Amino acid sequence: MPKKTNRKPNVAIFSLTSCEGCQFSILDLSSKFLELSSRINIDEWRLISDLEPKKHYDISFIEGNPATIKNLKLLKQIRKMSDIVVVLGNCADLGGIWEIKNYHNYKKYGAYVYKQHQTIDNEKIIEVPKAIKVDYVIPGCPINAHNFYDLIYSLLNKTHWSLFQNPVCWECQINKNPCLLQEGKICLGPIAISGCNAVCLNSRQECWACRGILDDVKEKIENLIKILQNHGYSLQDILEKMEFFGARDRIEAALQPPSEKKK
Ligand code: SF4
Ligand code: SF4
Ligand code: SF4
């Protein structure tokens, strides 16, 4: 961040392999976005225009997954060029739907989908926080753009920013939704980070934890798995739902005893 308070920070928004939905969520801020853009210099944002790349950014936002070797190279360059790196959205943070292939026989299924899958240059999906050091994560698929707005203002004002550690159930029940878990459906709301206004549950779609999982949630995961097994699901059925938005590896890591967790 700029040392002199009268200089506007240089901001970049990069996109790796993604659907670009998180970037469109930022534009959906409309008048709030215009207000924000008067406080920062947006020096790199391919979605808006082809700008001359700079050598340094105060804040870089990264949407999408480094699913190719080219993406991975760019990601490492971004880290070197940026004071603050913010991960934007599920595919960058958790690996997103791309990460499903880490759990399956990619070569076998790849042959059904791609005629020339041998030419795909990076078979293993890596989450951005595992590839480089990140300073903040704005989760979701897509992100809640108000998290983006609040984080930028916190950085401008040098105040603390973090996500509330409440489960999606909290927002789901404020919205008076019937509980799909009690109806015997696989809902990951008890272990997922809130902040989406339980948007899926409002449409009677189960939560599959696109915003990631809460901290210190081992006991809740064990209880959730027991409840679902009592409803007749196999562990494989449950793991498949955890894979959908890339949360499975975080859930499995949370279940390990502290001594076995990777440092
Ligand atoms: S997190 Fe979801 S909305 Fe955002 S870029 Fe990835 S797929 Fe698109
Ligand atoms: S439907 Fe899901 S998110 Fe809502 S209260 Fe039940 S378990 Fe929680
Ligand atoms: S309800 Fe769950 S899956 Fe849906 S947006 Fe919220 S965190 Fe993501």
> Measured in angstroms, how far is the CA atom of residue 21 from the centroid of ligand 1?
5
CB count in 10 Å sphere of residue 190:
22
Predicted confidence (pLDDT) at residue 69 exceeds the cutoff of 60: yes
> Measured in angstroms, how far is the CA atom of residue 178 from the centroid of ligand 3?
16
Task: Look at residues 120, 136, 157 and tell me which one is the last residue of a structural domain.
Answer: 157
CA distance 60 to 54: 12
Cis peptide before 142 (omega within 30 of 0): yes
In a domain, 243, yes or no: yes
Q: How far apart are the first and last CA of the chain?
A: 29
Does 135 share its domain with 223?
Answer: no
Does 129 share its domain with 194?
Answer: no
In a domain, 3, yes or no: no
| Three-state DSSP string of 19-43 | CCHHHHHHHCCCHHHHHHHCCCEEE
Does 35 share its domain with 140?
Answer: yes
Does 153 share its domain with 173?
Answer: no
List CB contacts of 73: < 8 A, sequence separation 6 or more.
none
pLDDT of residue 212: 96
Q: 192 CB less than 6 Å from ligand 3?
A: yes
Q: 173 CB less than 6 Å from ligand 2?
A: yes
In a domain, 71, yes or no: yes
Does 143 share its domain with 63?
Answer: yes
List CB contacts of 101: < 8 A, sequence separation 6 or more.
109, 110, 123, 125
Residue from 166, 171, 176, 180 whose mutation best tests the ligand 2 pocket (most atoms within 8 A of CB): 180
Does 144 share its domain with 179?
Answer: no
Confidence of residue 118 (pLDDT cuts 50, 70, 90): low
Task: Look at residues 157, 179, 194 and tell me which one is the last residue of a structural domain.
Answer: 157
pLDDT of residue 47: 87
In a domain, 2, yes or no: no
137 beta partners: 87
> Measured in angstroms, how far is the CA atom of residue 91 from the centroid of ligand 1?
6
In a domain, 172, yes or no: yes
Confidence of residue 257 (pLDDT cuts 50, 70, 90): confident
CA distance 62 to 43: 14
Does 212 share its domain with 114?
Answer: no
Residue nearest to atom 8 of ligand 3 (CA): 210
> Measured in angstroms, how far is the CA atom of residue 258 from the centroid of ligand 1?
31
In a domain, 230, yes or no: yes
Q: 196 CB less than 6 Å from ligand 1?
A: no
Residue nearest to atom 1 of ligand 2 (CA): 179
Domain containing residue 231: 168-260
Q: What is the mean pLDDT of the chain?
A: 92
- Per the rule left: phi > 0, alpha: psi between -120 and 50, beta: everything else, 90 is alpha
Mean pLDDT of 219-228: 96
In a domain, 1, yes or no: no
How many structural domains is the chain composed of? 2
Does 200 share its domain with 230?
Answer: yes
Predicted confidence (pLDDT) at residue 132 exceeds the cutoff of 70: yes
Residue 17, both tokens: 């392999």
Stated pTM of the model: 0.92
pLDDT of residue 117: 65
Q: Kind and range of the H or E element at 242?
A: helix 235-243
Does 220 share its domain with 140?
Answer: no
Q: 168 CB less than 6 Å from ligand 2?
A: yes
Confidence of residue 263 (pLDDT cuts 50, 70, 90): very low
Residue pair 203/237 in contact (Cβ under 8 Å)? The answer is no
Does 119 share its domain with 73?
Answer: yes
In the chain, % helix, strand, coil (3-state, to 5) comes to 45, 15, 45
In a domain, 35, yes or no: yes
More confidently predicted of 3 and 70: 70
Predicted confidence (pLDDT) at residue 231 exceeds the cutoff of 90: yes
Cα Rg of the chain (Å, integer): 19
Mean pLDDT of 170-187: 98
What are the tens digits of pLDDT across the range 232-246?
999 999 999 999 999
> Measured in angstroms, how far is the CA atom of residue 167 from the centroid of ligand 2?
9
List CB contacts of 92: < 8 A, sequence separation 6 or more.
16, 18, 62, 63, 64, 65, 127, 128
CB count in 10 Å sphere of residue 113:
7
61 beta partners: 13, 86
> Measured in angstroms, how far is the CA atom of residue 255 from the centroid of ligand 3?
21
Does 83 share its domain with 180?
Answer: no
Q: 197 CB less than 6 Å from ligand 2?
A: no
DSSP 188: -
Task: Look at residues 135, 157, 179 and tell me which one is the last residue of a structural domain.
Answer: 157
Does 209 share its domain with 232?
Answer: yes
CB count in 10 Å sphere of residue 157:
8
Q: 214 CB less than 6 Å from ligand 3?
A: no
* Residue 59, domain CATH: 3.40.50.700
